[in-house]
Amino acid sequence: MQISKRVQNMGEPALLKYYPLVDQAKARGIQVYYLNIGQPDIQTPQGFIQTIRGGHPEVLEYAQPEGETDLREAAGSYYRRYGLNFEKDEMLITNGGSEALLFTFLTLFNPGDEVLTPEPLYSIYKEMAAVSGIHLKGVKTYAENGFALPEKQVLEEAITEKTKGFLMTNPGNPTGKVFTQEEINRVAELALKHNLFVITDEVYREFIYEGAYVSPAHDSRLDEQCVVIDSISKRYSACGARIGFVLSKNKEVMYALRKLCQMRLAVSSVDQIGARELFKLNHVFFNAVIEEYRKRRDIVYECLKTIPGVVAEKPTGAFYYMAKLPVIKATDFIEWMITSFQEDGETVLLSPANDFYLNPADGADEVRIAYVLKSEDLRRAMALLKKGLEAYRLARPEAFKEMTDVH
Most confident of the following: 4-8, 17-21, 153-157: 153-157
Residue closest to 79 by CA, chosen among 90, 63, 65: 90
**Domains in the chain, ordered, with CATH?**
5-42+284-399 (3.90.1150.10), 46-278 (3.40.640.10)
pLDDT at residue 376, rounded to an integer: 96
**Predicted confidence (pLDDT) at residue 406 exceeds the cutoff of 70:** no
**pLDDT-based confidence at residue 58 (cuts at 50, 70, 90):** confident
pLDDT at residue 55, rounded to an integer: 65
> What tens digit of pLDDT does each residue of 65-90 get?
999 999 999 999 999 999 999 999 99
**What is the pTM assigned to this prediction?**
0.93
> What tens digit of pLDDT does each residue of 91-141 get?
999 999 999 999 999 999 999 999 999 999 999 999 999 999 999 999 999
Percent of the residues in the chain that have a pLDDT greater than 90, as a whole number: 82
Of residues 42 and 112, more confidently modeled:
112
> What tens digit of pLDDT does each residue of 235-283 get?
998 898 999 999 999 999 999 999 999 999 999 999 999 999 999 998 8
Q: What gap in Å lies between CA 131 and CA 128, rounded to an integer?
A: 5
Angle between helices 46-54 and 269-278 (to 10 degrees): 140
Instruction: Report whether 338 contacts 26 (CB < 8 A).
Output: no
- Phi first, then psi, for residue 203 (nearest 5°) are -70, -15
Q: What gap in Å lies between CA 67 and CA 269, rounded to an integer?
A: 9
Q: What is the mean pLDDT of the chain?
A: 93
